Amino acid sequence: MGIEALFLGFLFSPYGIPMLGASIIAFLHVVNKGIKSI
């Protein structure tokens, strides 16, 4: 997913970097939640 997200980020240049950052933060949040639920 990382490469595709980066590609889409360059595709939608002005909004690309913030959206990439938001998706990374969301992904880390989900992973953190998953670790805590174990």
Number of structural domains (the chain) is 1
Measured between alpha carbons, how far is 8 from 3 in angstroms, rounded to an integer? Answer: 9
Lookup: tokens for 27: 């992904």
How confident is the model at residue 12, as a pLDDT? 67
Q: Would you say residue 36 lies in a domain?
A: no
Measured between alpha carbons, how far is 6 from 9 in angstroms, rounded to an integer? Answer: 5
Measured between alpha carbons, how far is 34 from 37 in angstroms, rounded to an integer? Answer: 5
Q: Would you say residue 38 lies in a domain?
A: no
Under a CB-based contact definition with an 8 Å cutoff, are residues 19 and 12 in contact?
Answer: yes
Q: What are phi and psi of 12, to 5 degrees?
A: -105, 60
Residue-range definition of the domain harbouring residue 14: 2-28
Give the pTM.
0.48
| pLDDT tens digits along 1-19 | 577 877 766 666 665 567 6
